[in-house]
Amino acid sequence: MDSILDAEMVWKSVLDDLPATGGETLVRRFIRINPDCRFQPPAMDAELDQHGLQMEIRKVLSTNKEQSNIDGVARRLIANTFYFHVNGIAEIPKNRTRYRGTI
């Protein structure tokens, strides 16, 4: 449990260190993918237990909700690579997304 609490404290510290002038827009740029493994994670040195953790996390990350989150992060990374600022998102058929923004 300590490692989970430490991770929460580190994440809060990252957000707290952001410039106050950035406001909510800046905070929304940071996304944390934090899958729920539904059990106490094994100790970092419990090598034999790591495989079970890995399999559980893979199962959690393969859900539609998590896949949608990961897809969103990937799209944002690609858009940011081209200095593209997203102003709006519209879902369109066939698993595609249309972004409106400025370069």
Helix-helix angle 50-61:64-81, to 10 degrees: 80
The tokens for 103 are: 């370069």
Q: Can you tell me the distance from the alpha carbon of 67 to that of 71, in angstroms, rounded to the nearest whole number?
A: 6
**Which residues, 6+ apart, have CB-to-CB distance to 66 below 8 Å?**
33, 35, 60
Q: Can you tell me the distance from the alpha carbon of 76 to that of 81, in angstroms, rounded to the nearest whole number?
A: 9
12-65 per-position pLDDT tens digit: 888 887 777 666 766 677 788 888 888 888 887 888 888 888 999 999 999 998
The rounded percent of the chain whose pLDDT value lies above 90 is 8
| Predicted pLDDT of residue 59 | 92
Q: Is residue 88 part of a domain?
A: yes
Q: Is residue 98 part of a domain?
A: yes
Q: Is residue 13 part of a domain?
A: no
| Predicted pLDDT of residue 31 | 81
Q: Can you tell me the distance from the alpha carbon of 62 to that of 57, in angstroms, rounded to the nearest whole number?
A: 8
Domain of residue 92, residue span: 64-103
Q: Is residue 50 part of a domain?
A: no
| Predicted pLDDT of residue 77 | 83
79-90 per-position pLDDT tens digit: 777 777 777 776
Q: Is residue 31 part of a domain?
A: no
Q: Is residue 56 part of a domain?
A: no
Q: How many domains does the chain have?
A: 1
Q: Is residue 4 part of a domain?
A: no
Instruction: Pick the more confident residue, 95 or 31.
Output: 31
